[in-house]
Structure 1
Amino acid sequence: MPLSQPMPDGFAAKIAALNNFEPATAGFSPFIIAGEPLGWLGSETADLLQAQGFIQPHDAGYALVPGFDTDAARRSEGLRLAAEAMQADGRMGGFRDEPYRVCAGWDQPDIAVLDRRAIPHFGIRSFGIHLNGVVETATGLEMWIARRALDREVEPGKRDNMVAGGQPADLSLMDNLIKEAAEEAAVPEALARQAKQGGIITYQQVEPVERLKHDTIFTYDLFLSEDFVPENTDGEVGQFERLPIAEVAAIVRDTDEFKPNCNLVIIEFLARHGLLEVVA
């Protein structure tokens, strides 16, 4: 997320909070799959998986054992079984039945697929889309902000972007945006297709139980009419509110009200539109 404008301290702190991964000090080792370093394993996770025969030492890290590292189907099977071993050990919750790609980058071929729940436990890169719902008014830009439902497993009650979702293995970015926009904000397909891609955000955040979120977010902007009101249809959002962009920026800069990765999405929006100093 290259920036040409000065970064106010409050924004810089939000970026730093999601980029706290230092392999040497965090106790992680590279995880080699199909000959490529595609993930990171914490020391206790590596010990468990090596003891159960899923991985073996490889240079300065670990690799999937050759019996599972033959083709995409076998890699997917080996990773699933390794994830089930982590579940049996109490290190991971139940699968979410959402297959994610295992690959070196968005434009690289799939090496395997793995359930969304397991991705950060292997330190494997994941992808997602976030949509800024923006309204141009006579007094300036305003942005639709979601409030996550209180029963959400992740960050209940936190503020969120109008639409956001992880990227399934079997959908294009636009198809996923259309699906998520319909479910989360009742945006018609024809309107969702008017969204313009903004930027690409990547971060690496260490979480408890040796989880590493190595996430890439594709951001989109959708400029909406003043009479459009989003309506949630899947139960993930408790409410929506439309706020002046200066107020949104102040909330990001000065509080912890937003789901952490949404802070980065809004900061990236502000940077692209020359608005980093809108609350300074």
Structure 2
Amino acid sequence: MPSTALLPDPAHLLACRARLNHQAQQLPPAGARPVTLAGRVGGWITPAAQAAVAGLPGVHVEPEAVHVTAGARRSLDTVLEHMAQALNQAGLIRAWRNESLDVVAEGQRLACIERGAMRPLGLLTQSVHLNAWAPDGRLWVARRALDKSTDPGLWDTLSGGLVAAGETCATALLRETYEEAGLPAMMLDGCGPLRTVLRMHRRLPDGYQVENVLLADCVLPAGVVPVNQDGEVIEFRCLDLAGLWSCLEGGVFTLEAELCILDSLQRRLADPVAQAS
């Protein structure tokens, strides 16, 4: 475990966390309207997306909100599928992934939709991240591929990604960790439970990011070296605390990774004998 003497002082950590939290809490884009799904509030649709889906069956654009409803001959999944296709045809989806995510409104899962349509509609997503520590207190970090549609080339937690439709957060973490770092589930037996770091609200070029950021910590066995499997990571490093803090101050991490790393550092400073909680 790292010595707390090597960590920044608590006040500095709190100040950094407050600055990042401010960046992660932004109002919806100008002109965005709330989206209701089957009568439940669930998103923030951009003006361009409103124009692309207006007139589709099941889509009702009103001055105060855009309402999405099922019908006698169409399911909510079908309505959302047509909305995603319209957004794609209008050039509003940055990358069509052929991956479905759950659509959740007011805490209830209602349907699923193409991943690329989540931001234009401002729908809630869930991301899982892993901070993987070496036994000597260094932290493994991963550099994102240069062809990633979001934050290309920036540094990240060892593994992380969005929870797919019908998938539990724990399962998503295991899947992402194998795909991005080549680590099987057996190496994560000592992984701490997932915890919520924050709910992010951020304006992005393709819409509005509303996302629960969840994080777990683990200590990898000595000698374990991550190996990427899916082409989404181009480099791994195992940083000591001095190097880690230098990178944090240099702005080379994604915002989500910075928040996750600071969360782990704060927890370790508060309880330096904890292993992976």
TM-score bracket, normalised by the shorter chain, equals 0.7 to 0.9
The alignment status of 1:17 with 2:23, answered yes or no, reads: yes
User: Conserved in 2, the CA contact under 8 Å of 1:159 and 1:259?
Assistant: yes
Aligned to 1:124: 123
Amino acid at match of 2:33: S
User: Following TM superposition, by how much is the alpha carbon of 1:28 offset from its aligned partner in structure 2, in angstroms?
Assistant: 1.7
CA contact (8 A) 2:130 2:216 kept: yes
The reply to whether residue 170 of structure 1 matches residue 166 of structure 2 is yes
SS in 2 for 1:103: strand
Identity %: 23
Report the 3-state secondary structure (helix = DSSP H, G, I; strand = E; otherwise coil) of the residue aligned with 2:77: helix
SS in 2 for 1:132: strand
CA contact (8 A) 2:95 2:116 kept: yes
Counterpart of 1:278 in structure 2 is: none
Cα distance, 1:179–1:61 mapped onto 2, change above 3 Å: same
Instruction: Report the AA paired with residue 235 of structure 1.
Output: G
Quick one: which amino acid aligns to residue 215 of structure 2?
A: T
Give, in whole Å, the separation in 1 of the partners of 2:160 and 2:260.
10
Q: Map 1:125-274; keep pairs closer than 5 Å.
A: 125-137=124-136, 141-200=137-196, 201-209=198-206, 211-252=207-248, 254-274=249-269
5 Å matches for 1:62-141? 62-64=66-68, 66=69, 68=70, 74-104=75-105, 108-137=107-136, 141=137
The 5-angstrom pairing of residues 31-42 of structure 1 reads 31-42=35-46
Equivalent of 2:54 in 47, 50, 56: 50
CA offsets, 1:122-177, max 9 Å, x none?
Answer: 1000012100011232xxx2100111122323222211111111101122222222
Distance 1:52 1:271, change over 3 A: same
2 CA distance for matches of 1:216 and 1:187? 24
Deviation of 1:60 after TM superposition, in Å, equals: 2.4
Deviations, residues 46-86 of structure 1 (Å, cap 9, x unaligned) = 2332244552245721201x4x3569x71111111112112
The one-letter code of the counterpart of 2:112 is V
Q: What is the Cα-based RMSD across aligned positions, in Å?
A: 2.3
Moved over 6 A (4+): none
C-alpha displacement of 1:8? 4.8
Query: Which segments of 5 or more consecutive residues in structure 1 lack a partner in the other structure?
Result: 276-280
**Secondary structure of 2:150 counterpart:** coil
Of the three residues 15, 19, 30, the one matched with 1:26 is 30
Q: CA deviation at 1:104?
A: 2.7
Give the number of equivalent residue pairs.
259
Give, in whole Å, the separation in 1 of the partners of 2:263 and 2:149.
26
Using structure 1 for the length normalisation, give the TM-score: 0.84
Q: TM-score, normalised by structure 2?
A: 0.84
| C-alpha separation in 2, matches of 1:84 and 1:149 | 27
